[in-house]
Structure 1
Amino acid sequence: MYLHTELLINDIAVSEPDPAAANALQEGLGGQFGEMRTMMQYLFQSMNFRGDPSSKPYKDLLQSVGTEEISHVELIGTTISKLLDGSPGYKGKPTDPVDEPGAKGATPLSIALDHSNIHHYLVGAQGALPVDAAGNPWSGSYVYNSGNLVLDLLYNLMLESTGRLQKCRIYQMTDNPTARSTIAYLIVRDQAHENAFAKALESLGVNWGSVLPIPKTNAEQFPEVKKLLDKGLQSIQFTFNADNQSQAAKLYRGASPSNDGTELSTAVMPDGVPITISPERREEFSPGLDPELLALIQATAEVEIANIEATDTTASKK
C-alpha cells in the first residue's frame, strides 16, 4: 500500500525552456537504464521476493529503493515537462488566438519541427513520454528479476552504475539549470543506490569490487553534484516506511563502499519541495476549454454526483 505525499523529492531550478535537453532527459526516464526501469525492476524483485524471516532486510532494501524510484520518475518527468512548457519558439501573448501566428511570424509550435522529439508536441502536449531519447517506447523486457538474490543484486549494481554514467553524459550535453538540477540530484542518488546494493552483496560474502567495479565518473567535478555530495546525500537511503518497520538499516550501515569517508545511514523520507501545477498551453489546446464547455462539464459532474448520492441513500434504507 502506498501513500503519495504531494511534494517533489528535489527542487527543480527555474530556467528557460529547452526542448533538446528535454529529449536527452527522456533517456534517463524511459531508456534501458532509466528511472522507469529501476522503479519496475526493484518493485518486481521485492514483490516476488522469497526467503525466511531472516532475509527480510534484503526485501525491505529492494522495496525502499524501488519506492524512491517512483519519486524519481515523478521528478524527471516533471522536469521534462517544465523544459518543454512554453517552448521558446512561441513568442505570442497568452491572450493571442492560438490559430494566429505568434510574434515575428512564428507559428506557435514551429519549435517542434526543428528541435527535440516531435512527439512531445504531437502526443504529449509539451509533456514527458514513456520513451527513450530516440522515441522508442519503454519496454517491460528491460526488467531483470531472476529470483536469485545474488544475481539480482549484481544486476542492480550494474544498472545503477550504468544509469549514473549515462546521467553524467547527459549533464555534459546541456547547461540548462532546470535540466542540471535534476540530473545532478539523480547522479548522487544513483551513487546512494550503488552503495545499497554493494553493501547487500558484501553481507552475502560477494567480493563485488573485483567482479564489477563501480565506474569512476568523477561526478564531483559538477558544481551541482558536489553541493549534494558535501551534504552526504550519497550515503543515506530513505525507507519510505510509514510505520517504521523497515529492516533495511541492517544492511545500509557502516563505511560507504564508495570509499569517500562517509558512513551509511537510513531515514524515513526527505523533506521534499512543493509541487506546482503547470499553466495551460493554449497553443496545444491543453486544457483549452472555453467557459461554455467548462460550465457543461461542471453541470454534468453535479448530476453524476447527485445520482451517486441518491443511489447510496436508497441502498442504506434497504
Structure 2
Amino acid sequence: MYFHLQNLINPIEQDEPDPAAANALQEGLGGQFGEMRTMMQYLFQSINFRGPSAKPYKDLIQGIGTEEISHVELIGTTIARLLDGAPGYHGRKGDPIDKPGLDGATPLSIALDHGNIHHYLVGAQGALPVDAAGNPWLGSYVYNSGNLVLDLLYNLMLESTGRLQKCRLYEMTDNKTARSTIAYLIVRDQAHENAYAKALETLGVNWKGTLPIPKTNAERFPEVKRLVDLGLQGKQFSFDLGDQSEAGKIFQGMSPSGDGTQLDASEQAPAGVPIEIAVERPEEFSPGADKDLIALIEATAAMEMADIDATFGKLSTD
C-alpha cells in the first residue's frame, strides 16, 4: 500500500515564470532518463521481484521507487510554477491583465513563441508527460529483466545519466525556481547511484570497471554544495510505515562516491514542506468553477472530513 503525505519532498524557491526553463525541465520529467522512468522502472522491478532471500535488494529498489514518486511530484510542480500566470505580467496578479480578453488583451500570447505551446494549449500552464521535444513518455523505457545484477547495472546507468542531464539543465537556466529543484535532484541522483553501486559491490560486481560514473563536479553549483554539505547524497529513506525494510543491510558503510562519507539508511522519510495549491488562472479558465460548483466542492470536502473524523477521530490542533 502507498500513502501520501501532503508535503513536497523539497522546497521550491520563488522566482519569475520562465516557460523556456519549464520546457527544458520536461526532459527531466518525461524524457528517457527522467523521473517518470525511474519511478516506473523501480516500482515494476520491486513488484516483479523474485527471491525471498534477496529481500534487502527488493526493499532498496522499492524505497527508491517510492521516493521517485515524490520526485515526479516535485519536478511537475516546479514546471507548473515556471508556467504559472500569464507571463505578460511576470507572475504578479492584478487587474486588468488577469482578466481574459479585457480591452483586447491576449494574456496567453507568449505561448506562441516561448517554450512548448502545449503547456498552455493542452496543459493549462502545467506539466505534461512528455520530454523537452514534446514526445510522449513511453513505457518501453522501463527495463526490468528480472535478473538482479542486470537490473542494478541498468539502474546505476539510469541514475548516472539522469544526473548528467540535470547538470546540463542547471547550466541552461539561472531561474531560482528551476535551480532549486534541479540541484536537489542532482544530489538525490547521486544518493541513488551510491545505493545501486553499493548493492552491486555486495554482489561482487566490479561496477567501477564495468560502468564508470561520469565526473560532473556538480558541487561547484552553490545550491548543490549546500545539500552535499548536509550529507544528503549519503542518505537513503525507507518510506516504510511498517518498519520492515531491510535496505539498511545494503546501504551502509563508506560511500561508493569515494568522498569519505558514511551511508545512512536510518531515516524513514525527509520532513518535506507543505504543498501550496496554485492560484486560479482565469486566462486558462482553470479550474473554471462557478459559484454552484464551488458550493458543491465545499460540501463534498465537508462530507469527506466528517468521514475522516468518524473513522480516525478529530485531528489535534495542539
* Structure 2 length-normalised TM: 0.90
Aligned-pair identity in percent equals: 74
Q: Distance in 2 between matches of 1:61 and 1:260?
A: 22
Structure showing greater Rg: 1
Conserved 8 A contact 2:198-2:256: yes
Letter in 1 for 2:101: D
CA offsets 1:182-238 (integer angstroms, 9 cap, x no match): 000000000000000000000000000011011001100100000000000000000
Alignment of 1:81-96 (within 5 A): 81-90=80-89, 93-94=94-95, 96=98
Alignment of 1:1-318 (within 5 A): 1-51=1-51, 53-90=52-89, 93-94=94-95, 96-101=98-103, 107-266=106-265, 267-292=267-292, 294-295=294-295, 297=296
Letter in 2 for 1:273: V
Q: CA deviation at 1:293?
A: 5.1
Q: Distance in 2 between matches of 1:299 and 1:151?
A: 51
Question: Residues 119 and 260 of structure 1: is their aligned pair in 2 closer, same or farther, counting only changes over 3 Å?
Answer: same
Conserved 8 A contact 1:164-1:191: yes
Letter in 1 for 2:72: V
Question: Stretches of 4+ moved more than 6 A in 1?
Answer: 299-302
Equivalent residue pairs, number: 299
Letter in 1 for 2:94: K
Conserved 8 A contact 1:144-1:152: yes
Letter in 2 for 1:243: G
Letter in 2 for 1:68: E
Conserved 8 A contact 2:170-2:183: yes
Q: Distance in 2 between matches of 1:298 and 1:147?
A: 45
- Segments of 5+ residues of structure 2 without an aligned counterpart are 304-318
Partner SS state of residue 242, structure 1: coil
Letter in 1 for 2:99: P
Q: CA deviation at 1:88?
A: 2.0
Q: Which residue of 2 aligns with 1:309?
A: none
CA offsets 1:77-111 (integer angstroms, 9 cap, x no match): 0000000001422477356531225xxx7511011
Conserved 8 A contact 2:13-2:180: yes
Partner SS state of residue 254, structure 1: coil
